[in-house]
Amino acid sequence: MFSAPKMRWLLDATGTTGATTATGGASSTRTVGTIDTFLVHRLTGELAAEAGNASRTLLLDLATQTWDEDLCALFGVPLDALAPVRRSDALLARTLPGGRIPAGVPVHAVLADSHAALFHHSGGRAGEGKATFGTGSSVMVGAASADPAPSGIAATLAWLTDAPAFAREGNIVASGAALTWMADLLTDGDVVALGELAAQAEPGLAFVPAFSGLGAPYFDRGATGLIAGITGGSTRADLARAAFEAVAHQVADVVAAMESDGAAHLAVLHADGGATASALLMQTQADLLGRAVRVSGEPEASALGAAMLASRALGHTWPARDGDGEGEGARDGAAHRVVEPRLSDADRAARRATWRDAVARSRGHAPGAHP
């Protein structure tokens, strides 16, 4: 992600930039790209850059889905060092002989991790987004255009098929990592036991897990971790509850930033990842968002999303599941559950205000940082 400076460094470090072109830019004798370009080349011998992956390099014009000459010049990455941009559902090539995959297998869809998960969950339906709850969290919501996103949020091309699908994404540094850290302190590293402990307490404390700064929508490397609101009556259960609240608050922060200019709107959040096994976390997330959370039962949402795109490109319709009757809209391969918010608007506003105050206090404390 944001790989243009790394590409320039790699070209310099390997001595593969060459003469100056007629337009004043550098030229290259090699191709540099993201992991999709590498994998497609290793599998097929062909050079290709899937459009969604290309959009995360800082070098793609989102409106035209082509490499931007001015951006390439700005970062010093020669245009001739980049692979051709291809559709996400293109038949890129077929596998070469001599590998572990039989020769001649078509490579018919390529998607980045979060992009593939979004395709699995929503297929581009308006008002739907996804959050992956791992060590960190990726929150992605469909957008109507390639217009610049609000500060702290990345605008991206989700995928390119017959028409481009745009999205906004925010990446959170510590979500599952916050639960693990608190579990190490309180429950000998057992996150399930941490959830059981947290369920014994009501919300009250605010825990900001800025172990290495804050990610989206703040991108503040100077922020430090903080626990606010502790009194003599605070308990281990209160601390445990604060960890689960912190995960949900951070996702709510990202969604609020995405919606701040009116260009994106989230009606339902699809949730996947290991931490979704926690009923407490999913209820807390719905409460603090004020939206329904559809919890996926599919452990490999990204892989399934890429498979679904390839299937559609080949003219197949993804089968409906028992009880869904939605055809390709029924996208969870395993049972899912929908969690509705239970919190009143007033209580939600109060808890969000307490959290925002704690975040403000956490910022600007690292040496050389600015609040």
Shared-domain flag, residues 78 and 117: no
**What does the DSSP 8-state code read for residue 147?**
P
- Whether 117 and 237 map to the same domain: the answer is yes
Q: For residue 1, what pLDDT is reported?
A: 78
Task: Give me the pLDDT at residue 327, please.
Answer: 42
Residues 23 and 48 in one domain: yes
DSSP track, 176-199: HHHHHHHHHHHSTT-HHHHHHHHT
Give dist(CA 214, CA 246) in Å, integer.
12
- Pair (146, 241) in one structural domain: yes
**Cβ within 8 Å of residue 41, ≥6 positions away:** 31, 47, 48, 83
pLDDT at 144: 86
Same domain assignment for residues 115 and 162: yes
Q: Judge if 268 and 248 occupy the same domain.
A: yes
Residues 32 and 170 in one domain: no
Q: Check whether residue 169 and residue 69 sit in a common domain.
A: no
Q: What is the pLDDT of residue 321?
A: 41
Inter-residue contact 78 to 93 (CB < 8 Å): no
Which pLDDT does position 18 carry in this prediction? 46
Tell me which of 78, 107, 136 is where a domain ends: 107
Domain that holds residue 55: 4-107
Same domain, 207 and 283: yes
Listed residue (147, 120, 148, 144) closest to 132, CA to CA: 120
How open is the CA angle 172-343-252, to the nearest 5 degrees? 15
Q: Calculate the alpha carbon distances from 290 to 41, 239, 345, 347, 352 in Å.
A: 45, 23, 8, 11, 11
Per-residue pLDDT of the chain (371 residues; tens, 9 = 90+): 799 999 999 999 988 654 434 344 555 668 999 999 999 999 999 999 999 999 999 999 999 999 999 999 999 999 999 999 999 999 999 999 998 999 999 999 999 999 999 999 998 888 899 999 999 999 999 988 888 899 999 999 999 999 999 999 999 999 999 999 999 999 999 999 999 999 999 999 999 999 999 999 999 999 999 999 999 999 999 999 999 999 999 999 999 999 998 878 899 999 999 999 999 999 999 999 999 999 998 878 999 999 999 999 999 877 644 334 344 444 555 568 999 999 999 999 999 999 999 999 999 876 655 44
Which of 86, 107, 128 lies at the terminal end of a domain, its last residue?
A: 107
240 contacts: CB under 8 Å, gap ≥ 6: 182, 186, 187, 194, 195, 197, 198, 201
- Whether 46 and 72 share a structural domain: yes
Q: How many separate domains does the chain show?
A: 2
CB 78 within 8 Å of CB 72: yes
Question: Are 126 and 22 contained in the same domain?
Answer: no
Rounded to whole angstroms, how far apart are CA atoms 173 and 184?
A: 18
- Residue 213 has what DSSP assignment? B
Written as six digits, the tokens of 27 are 């030229």
Q: What is the CATH number of the domain that holds 216?
A: 3.30.420.40
Instruction: Please name the residues in contact with 323: beta carbons below 8 A apart, sequence gap of 6 or more.
Output: none
**Where a domain ends, among 107, 129, 158?**
107
Give the list of residues 6+ apart from residue 331 with CB closer than 8 angstroms, or none. Answer: 120, 121, 122, 123, 304, 308, 318
Residues 295 and 229 in one domain: yes
